[in-house]
Amino acid sequence: MNKPVKTTRSLAAASLLIVFTIDIVTPPTFVADILYLCCMLLVFHDSPRFIRLFTAIACLLIITDVLLFDLRLNEGKAFWANRGMSMAAIIITSNLAIRFRRLNQLSSIKELQHLEEVQEILYITSHRIRKQVANIMGLTDLVNTENIILTKDDLTKHCHYLSFSVNELDAIIKELNNFIEEFEQENLGSDLINPHIHVLQ
């Protein structure tokens, strides 16, 4: 566990105890349950396991306060309903925090996959293009050589090689264009889900 995470967790635990203390010493009319929700913000970016643990502790502290202190008081149904709603709000908030974290993780994984795909296609394409360009340059250099006498059959053979390289080059460029179009469509779909995530700027 790195130091910032440990510090945040310690701060969250301390704030939870402070809120529990406030909840005990203040009169029942002062509902401190909203402060438990504020404590949840400190662990919003933590691991799902720790968020669940933090949520369980917060709810247990509320239940402890109810059993040890609030039951002695003859409060109305509205008070108990408020306590129940507060715990429900804490649980809902924790579930939202976990979902938010998972979506961020999925987005990060998708970004890495896109970047790996881009690197792979650029690597393959650059080598395939370089090969065909080298072939074309070699053929044109051969044809332009002054001291060489080419027969009609030689020219036909070289034109065939040249045509093959040009067609290969055209096919590579089409593949690259198709990849770019698919990549842009996938990114457009991702942007519609989460407009704040961009793989390539």
CB distance 52 to 98 below 8 Å: yes
Burial group, residue 97, by CB count within 10 angstroms (0-12, 13-18, 19+): buried
Whether 83 shows a pLDDT value over 50: the answer reads yes
- Tell me what the mean pLDDT of segment 41-57 comes to: 85
CA atoms 80, 86, 92, 94: torsion sign: negative
In degrees, to the nearest 5, what angle opens at C-alpha 67 toward C-alphas 8 and 89? Answer: 50
> pLDDT tens digit string along 160-201?
888 888 888 888 888 878 877 877 777 665 544 444 434 333
CB distance 41 to 83 below 8 Å: no
DSSP secondary structure letter of residue 24: H
Helix, strand counts (H, E) of the chain? 5, 0
Q: Which domain holds residue 63?
A: 3-104
Sequence-ordered strand ranges (E) for 89-133: none
> pLDDT tens digit string along 96-112?
888 888 887 777 787 77
How many structural domains is the chain composed of?
A: 2
Same domain? For 62 and 140 the reply is no
Same domain? For 93 and 116 the reply is no
pLDDT at 201: 36
Same domain? For 131 and 179 the reply is yes
Residue 91 domain flag: yes
**How far, in Å, CA of 104 to CA of 98, rounded?**
10
Same domain? For 89 and 121 the reply is no
Whether 47 shows a pLDDT value over 80: the answer reads yes
pLDDT at 160: 87
Average pLDDT taken over every residue of the chain: 77
pLDDT at 193: 42
| Domain C-terminal end among 43, 78, 104 | 104
Burial group, residue 4, by CB count within 10 angstroms (0-12, 13-18, 19+): exposed
- For residue 160, give Cα distances in angstroms to 81, 148, 156: 85, 19, 6
Q: Which residues in 78-87 are b (16+ Cβ under 10 Å) and which e?
A: ebeeebeebb
Same domain? For 161 and 100 the reply is no
pLDDT at 111: 78
Instruction: Specify the residue for token string 């998972």.
Output: 102
The pTM of the whole model exceeds 0.75: no
Same domain? For 31 and 114 the reply is no
pLDDT at 146: 61
Same domain? For 23 and 99 the reply is yes
Residue 198 domain flag: no
Whether 4 shows a pLDDT value over 50: the answer reads yes
**How far, in Å, CA of 180 to CA of 174, rounded?**
10
Same domain? For 74 and 94 the reply is yes
Whether 81 shows a pLDDT value over 80: the answer reads no
Residue 154 domain flag: yes
- Tell me what the mean pLDDT of segment 24-38 comes to: 74
| Domain C-terminal end among 46, 79, 104 | 104
